[in-house]
Amino acid sequence: MEENKNIPEDVNSESSGVNEETVQPMTTAAEQKSEIENLPAGQAGLKSEINEMEVHHHPQLKHKAKPWKEYLLEGLMIFFAVTLGFFAENYRETISESHRENEFAKVLYAELLDDSSAVAGKLANRLQKEKDMDYLSGYFKDSSLTNLPKKFYPAYTTSLYLINTYAFEPKDGILSQLRNSGALRYFKSVALQKLLGDISVNINNVRYRNEQEYQYFANPIKPFMLKYFDWSWLDKLRTADTAANALDVINNYRQSNSNIESKILNLSSLDRGEASNMILFYKQMLVSTRSLQLNNYIATNYKILKVLRENYSLTNE
């Protein structure tokens, strides 16, 4: 105990690690306020700034409860805003769908209108072909096969050689796109949607019939033509007339005064009755296609065009 008393005071100060000169006594809020009030007159601006800082640093806000009517009004305003937004979006979608419906109707109408003209031309040509087949089958059956008239080979060519010229291939590019994309739903008319389904069936039937006709051409008609048809006659005809369409070449020849010599090849092995019967069978196939598949397509095509004109103000122009 006595040893502790002999420790110098400066040592005690060093050991405590605190410098008395650096320790400042804490001032109270009242003392700080007194110091601010006692600032010299030249520092009045500083005094004002300090007072403002104190005011902003310690805001005292009083919240007053709103009346229930204001809450109700705000709720109603939010409800009306949401409702109006919903109706506006619904109206925008309706306008957009209506625009798409009209655009789809226009392109579909154009495609079907083109096909209506094409099938009418094919129908007229097929009727003429049926007449040529009647003439050809009768000639094979009981006429001279060595002294052929001028109209024999034109009928021979149109009846048994020109196949694709008389085949109607319906276009359904737009219809397929509308179906695959689900865009047919834009057409509100139930009757129109049913007709579009009907014409899809008609198109498939026409294509199936085209395939049947081609299969009959592949056998037995093609082997018959390779054996008995004089291809040099057709080559001379094309050389004399450079028209791109073979049917136009034939029709030009029929109306001309020129006569290209023609003959039936391998005449000794030709069976008249078999040739005549083959031509007549082929003719019945063409008649069936015309009276069923093509007529059904034409009727449905006409109904669709009529509905589109009535509902979308379309014309044939």
Tell me how far apart the alpha carbons of residues 37 and 213 are, in angstroms, rounded to a whole number: 116
Tell me how far apart the alpha carbons of residues 134 and 280 are, in angstroms, rounded to a whole number: 7
**Can you give the residue ranges of every domain in the chain?**
86-312
- Do residues 272 and 264 lie in contact, with contact meaning Cβ atoms separated by under 8 Å? no
Residue in the structure block whose two tokens are 């229930």: 68
- The Cβ of residue 218 has, within 10 Å, a number of other Cβ atoms equal to 11
N-to-C CA span, the chain: 126
Handedness of CA 217, 223, 228, 232 (dihedral sign): positive
CA proximity to 210, closest of 251, 245, 242, 164: 164
269: three-class secondary structure by DSSP: helix
- Do residues 276 and 270 lie in contact, with contact meaning Cβ atoms separated by under 8 Å? no
pLDDT tens, per residue, the chain with 317 residues: 444 444 444 444 444 444 444 445 555 555 555 555 555 555 555 555 555 555 444 555 555 666 777 767 777 777 777 766 666 565 455 555 556 888 999 999 999 999 999 999 999 999 999 999 999 999 999 999 999 999 999 999 999 999 999 999 999 999 999 989 888 888 888 999 999 999 999 999 999 999 999 999 999 999 999 999 999 999 999 999 987 789 999 999 999 999 999 999 999 999 999 999 999 999 999 999 999 999 999 999 999 999 999 999 887 65
64: three-class secondary structure by DSSP: coil
pTM: 0.70
- Do residues 229 and 275 lie in contact, with contact meaning Cβ atoms separated by under 8 Å? no
b vs e for 232-245, b when ≥16 Cβ sit within 10 Å of the residue's Cβ? ebbeebeeebeeee
User: How distant, in Å, are the alpha carbons of 114, 163, 195, 199 from that of 295?
Assistant: 16, 19, 15, 12
